[in-house]
Amino acid sequence: MSAPGPDRAEWTGSSLPTQVWVLTTRSLRAAFGDYRLVFFGLLQPVVLLLLFTQVFAGVGALPGVAPYAGYVNYLMPATLVNIAVITAMGAGAGLMAETYTGVVDRLRSLPIRPVSVLLARTFADSARLTVQLAAITGAGVLFLGFQPRGGVLGLAAAVLLATVVGWGLSWVFVAIATWRRNVELMQAVSFVAMFPLMFSSSAYMPLASMPGWMRAVATVNPITYAIDATRALALGRPPGAAPAWALLLALGAALGAGAVAVRNFRRAT
């Protein structure tokens, strides 16, 4: 067999969409390969929703919550966003775990673009998040009396918005994972980010019922915009500008943190 001519182009690897697709499906097979992990991953948000609806049931009598005809109707859309925040944190932890186990190093030895690894990580977690949100929404309707007055389309829009918000926030934690590969640092950042963001928002309590200083914090909390948007979409209320602000903030987080993550990831190659 004759040797290739000098004018023949060398193969430089597959296209970026193909790389992202293959890596995303690989991550999804790993995520859904263990039925125990899938079961408890779906059960955890349902248990949390059940506990919160029972412990804070008295909140349903407050003037800002009473029009929702049940605290579960007020809390359920907010839970979608809270789960998105938790899943976003898991994106950074997942990338760090694959770095420690050598998966990332093996991927770097292949003719693929570094950005495809990060995109696949966030897309796979977003797909897993969508399954979780669909499961907890169904459980809320079937077992907890959640009434999505926005109909199927409104509820689907709320789930989609929460997924996009989770995808945007996942880039923040991916950037942290590529900046300092330290498990303790990731846990500390996750703790500092998760609880203040969730509890200093309109997730569990109407803003009018909060102390003045916390109301001011909740008003500028980006999670509040996402929660207000999902609540309006799921319950058939006028959303106003909340969905646009939520999408804008998610896109800004993805672009800003994504640029940092790609730069850090390439420097480590």
Contact 149, 229 (CB under 8 A): no
Identify the DSSP state of 111. S
Angle at CA of residue 74, ends 73 and 78, nearest 5°: 110
pLDDT in the model for residue 166:
94
pLDDT tens per residue, the chain (269 residues)? 445 544 445 555 688 889 999 999 988 888 787 777 778 777 877 887 888 877 777 777 777 788 888 888 888 999 999 899 888 888 888 888 888 888 887 887 788 888 899 999 999 999 989 998 998 898 888 888 888 888 899 999 999 999 999 999 999 989 988 887 667 777 777 777 777 788 888 888 888 888 888 888 888 888 999 999 999 999 988 888 999 999 999 999 999 999 999 998 887 65
- Structural Rg of the chain based on CA atoms: 21
Q: Which of 38, 18, 36, 19 has its CA nearest to residue 28?
A: 38
pLDDT of residue 130: 92
Read off the pTM: 0.86
Q: Token pair of 205, please?
A: 């309590």
Q: How far apart are CA 41 and CA 87, in angstroms?
A: 10
Distance CA 248, CA 4 (A): 51
Buried b (16+ CB within 10 A) or exposed e, 189-201: bbeebeeebbebb
